[in-house]
Amino acid sequence: MAGFPAIFVLPLCSYLRGMKKVAFYTLGCKLNFAESSSIARSLQPLDFERVEFQETPDLFVINTCSVTEQADKKCKKVVREAKKINPNSIVVVIGCYAQLKPEEISAIPGVDLVLGANEKFQVASLILPYLSRTEKSLPKLIASEIRYDLDYHASYSVNDRTRTFLKVQDGCDYPCSYCTIPLARGQSRSDSIDKVLALVDEISAKGVKEIVLTGVNIGDFGIQQGTRKESFFELIQALDKHEGIDRYRISSIEPNLLHPEMIQFLGNSKRFVPHFHIPLQSGSNSVLRLMKRRYQRELYVDRVRMIRQQMPQACIGVDVIVGHPGETDELFLETYSFLQELDIAYLHVFPYSERPNTFAVDMKPKVDGAKKSERSKMLHILSEKKRREFYESQLGRTGHVLFEESNSDGMMEGFSENYVRFVTEYDPLLVNTIQPVRYKSISEIGDVLGEILITSAFA
């Protein structure tokens, strides 16, 4: 359905000066956070001030995820909460859930407008009729079907956290059996390297010290207008020699796209930190085939080995799905044993959630909820053990910590280049600075404690 004409803009200018507050609630991945921040900036010319959710906003924008059923339920809960905070507010729902199930969302009491994958970047123009209080005669749903030629919209977060999430890629061409993301975000597409570098300059001018590169399938960077023109390796090479940002972090990369020459380059990089998040999903080759993943576990082992050779102190995180249809007790134990032996630092564990229009919906046998919970608990315990072992291996070493603004009971935190969470007494002069530290001990709740070695230069 077409967007509303620009004729609405001028008559509403005087009204919009009174509409001051907008709040965002973002569910899901770092990519969603980057997009929420960019959409918020697009509202600034309309005199919107971004505020916290509890500050009685006039406009709520809920950016949804649909990776799991829980994310869908969370969206409904957030809508109810928004209407409790301000019954007269306008509620707009965007994101993956909005693209996949727009009719379902539009039926949620309190939702005023649902915008699909391409339309969400037009929030600033599409909300205008609703702000004029003529919305009863207007449609609640503006979500076109996913097309092969979806536009690419550059996005980055700023002022949300010390680190900036920079989107460099969107969409995915991998038809994994359990995943709806290609249906929600379309085919793989990217910015050009030149445009990414221009955004880096823009971000650097704001005083940002670290950028996290994000995307749906970030290793597939380089497809523009349906044609591969560049590569992710070329992007990281260009960023590494580009001035302005102290360090870069790769949010997540598929193991089959983390090529050996890339690992070697990152091991000698001036700006990329030794932190990798590599989706595994299963440590059983049988389950990997059911999942339609593009590698076997032997390749995963090889990539971890290469990282350890190049960067012995690197932090390696792993995504795992438990309870995929066909995952027997024996096959799960293959995954558990595989991860137990793997030299990694932590796990992100997801119970399989059945999603419509995926290959896995028709696969059998299904795994019941109790068994999925049991397997998930086992891997969470293993993750805590792995993280503790990794932190213990760092004691006595030095790192460089980027301190964040949060102040909790007089304490502040930051993360080192290899993702060690370091906690010290709050000092406002440390915020958004990178300081050399020595790790000395681990607290009862698992934080690393120690000493800051030099604080003479706050950059």
**For residue 286, is pLDDT > 90?**
yes
Please compute the mean of the pLDDT values over residues 349-370 and round it to a whole number.
93
Residue that wins the pLDDT comparison between 160 and 265 = 265
Would you state the pLDDT for residue 268?
96
pLDDT of residue 457 exceeding 60, the answer is: no
Which CATH code of 2.60.40.2470, 3.30.750.210, 3.40.50.720, 3.40.50.10490 fits the domain covering 147-272?
3.30.750.210
Q: Answer whether residue 378 shows pLDDT above 60.
A: yes
pLDDT of residue 413: 94
Task: Return the higher-pLDDT residue of 316 and 354.
Answer: 316
pLDDT in tens, 427-453: 999 999 999 999 999 998 899 999 999
Give yes or no for residue 6 having a pLDDT over 50: no
Domain 147-272 and domain 274-394 have a common topology: yes
The span from the CA of 386 to the CA of 375, in Å, is 16
Q: Is the pLDDT of residue 294 over 60?
A: yes
Residue type, 117: A
Highest mean pLDDT (candidates 126-130, 198-202, 454-458): 198-202
Alpha-helical regions (H) of 101-192? 102-106, 123-126, 128-131, 181-185
With H, G, I as helix, E, B as strand and everything else as coil, classify residue 90.
strand
131 and 170 in contact (C-beta within 8 Å)?
A: no
Question: How many CB atoms neighbour CB 230 within 10 A?
Answer: 18
Q: What is the CATH number of domain 6-142?
A: 3.40.50.2300
Plot region of 26 (φ>0 → left; ψ -120 to 50 → alpha; else → beta)? beta
**Alpha-carbon 314 to chain mean position:** 21
Please state, rounded to an integer, the average pLDDT across all residues of the chain: 89
> Residue 433 and residue 405: Cα distance in Å, rounded?
10
Least confident of 65-74, 149-158, 210-219, 402-411: 65-74
Fold observed for domain 274-394:
Transcription Regulator spoIIAA (3.30.750)
pLDDT in tens, 21-63: 999 998 878 888 899 999 999 998 888 889 998 899 999 999 9
Q: What Å distances lie between residue 411 and 60, 77, 161, 406, CA to CA?
A: 32, 32, 17, 8
Nearest to 3 by CA among 129, 153, 149: 129
Q: Is the pLDDT of residue 96 over 90?
A: no
Q: How high is the pLDDT of residue 117?
A: 82
Q: With CA atoms as reference, report the closest residue to 143 among 111, 119, 171.
A: 119
Give pLDDT, residue 128: 79
pTM of the prediction?
Answer: 0.88
Return d(Cα 113, Cα 94) in angstroms, integer.
9
Percent of the chain, pLDDT > 90?
A: 66
Q: How far apart are CA 212 and CA 182, in angstroms?
A: 22
Q: How confident is the model at residue 11 (pLDDT cuts 50, 70, 90)?
A: very low
Q: What is the pLDDT of residues 234-264, one digit of tens each?
A: 999 999 999 999 999 999 999 999 999 999 9
CA distance between the termini of the chain = 49
Closest-CA residue to 117 (of 225, 226, 35): 35
What pLDDT, on a 0 to 100 scale, did the predictor assign at position 7? 35
The answer to whether the peptide bond before residue 5 is cis (omega within 30 degrees of 0) is no
Q: How confident is the model at residue 401 (pLDDT cuts 50, 70, 90)?
A: very high
Please check the confidence at residue 281 and state whether its pLDDT lies above 50. yes
- Domain residue limits, the chain: 6-142, 147-272, 274-394, 398-452
Residue reference for tokens 């001028």: 10
Share of the chain above pLDDT 70, in %: 90
CA atoms within 13 A on the CB side of 377: 6
The per-residue pLDDT for 2 is 40
